């Protein structure tokens, strides 16, 4: 799992694990400590904090990467929630195994607040191929204590909780028929640039979300290659992309 989310710059000497105290991050911290002990590498366990504080902690501990406990069901919930919110095809890529920490977290009026420091660090998600059931089973097997956030179980309050509640039943077909918001998922799926068909059963849906993430990743890689081929020399901190070369890109998804 660690090899699949290895940062392009390689693993740092230390790895910070964001820990909220919930089952996901508790499982992650346990597995990382167990694995990294065997290869004699340090792992710092840091409680989840707002992005700017978390990034500060990453910098303080002298590492370039922070691990999060998001699992396969988190990626699936993100995939379905975005679909219900009419996200376009590329936006369905959702969570990535590894990506840059970023310059901001999307908070209003906070654009670029992490600056270059955020672009020099990495976010990794080793459990992204692991189901929620497996996470709970690991915690139970090793007697790991964790806390449960009751606000995550209010399907009538948020769309994400409604999606999570539907998935907990092992099938979403009945919930889609009953819930107007969830019905939008099926409708929006048919309107995508590349229409998708909803399978039933959570495992099939997990595979669907994973497949879309792979497809979007390939599109991103191709776009990066095309941009690199189009770029011409320019002053530091700028990028020069000639319009005539960009106009030759006809694939609507790459555009």
Q: Which domains does the chain have, with CATH numbers?
A: 3-246 (3.40.50)
The model carries a pTM of: 0.80
> Splitting the chain (255 residues) into consecutive groups of 10 residues, what average pLDDT does each group show?
86 82 91 69 52 64 84 90 81 87 64 71 91 93 87 66 72 65 72 70 85 87 85 84 83 78
Instruction: Write the burial class of residue 16 (CB in 10 Å: 0-12 exposed, 13-18 middle, 19+ buried).
Output: buried
Report how far residue 132's alpha carbon sits from residue 22's, in angstroms, rounded to the nearest whole number. 12
């Amino acid at each position: 799992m660690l090899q699949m989310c290895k940062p392009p710059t390689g693993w740092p000497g230390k790895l910070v694990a964001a820990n909220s105290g919930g089952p996901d991050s508790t499982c992650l911290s346990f597995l990382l400590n167990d694995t990294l002990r065997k290869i004699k590498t340090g792992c710092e366990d840091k409680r989840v904090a707002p992005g700017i504080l978390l990034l500060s902690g990453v910098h303080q501990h002298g590492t370039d990467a922070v691990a999060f406990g998001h699992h396969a069901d988190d990626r699936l919930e993100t995939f379905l929630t975005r679909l219900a919110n009419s996200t376009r095809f590329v936006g369905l890529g959702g969570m990535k195994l590894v990506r840059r920490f970023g310059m901001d977290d999307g908070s209003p009026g906070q654009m670029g607040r992490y600056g270059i420091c955020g672009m020099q660090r990495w976010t990794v998600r080793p459990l992204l191929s692991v189901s929620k059931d497996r996470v709970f089973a690991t915690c139970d097997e090793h007697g790991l204590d964790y806390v449960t956030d009751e606000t995550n179980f209010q399907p009538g309050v948020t769309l994400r909780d409604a999606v999570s509640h539907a998935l907990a039943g092992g099938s979403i077909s009945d919930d889609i028929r009953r819930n107007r918001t969830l019905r939008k998922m099926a409708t929006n799926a048919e309107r995508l640039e590349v229409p998708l068909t909803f399978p039933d059963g959570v495992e099939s849906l997990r595979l669907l979300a994973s497949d879309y993430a792979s497809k979007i990743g390939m599109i991103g890689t191709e776009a990066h290659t095309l941009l690199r081929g189009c770029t011409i020399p320019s002053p530091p901190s700028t990028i020069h992309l000639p319009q005539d070369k960009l106009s030759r890109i006809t694939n609507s998804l790459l555009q």
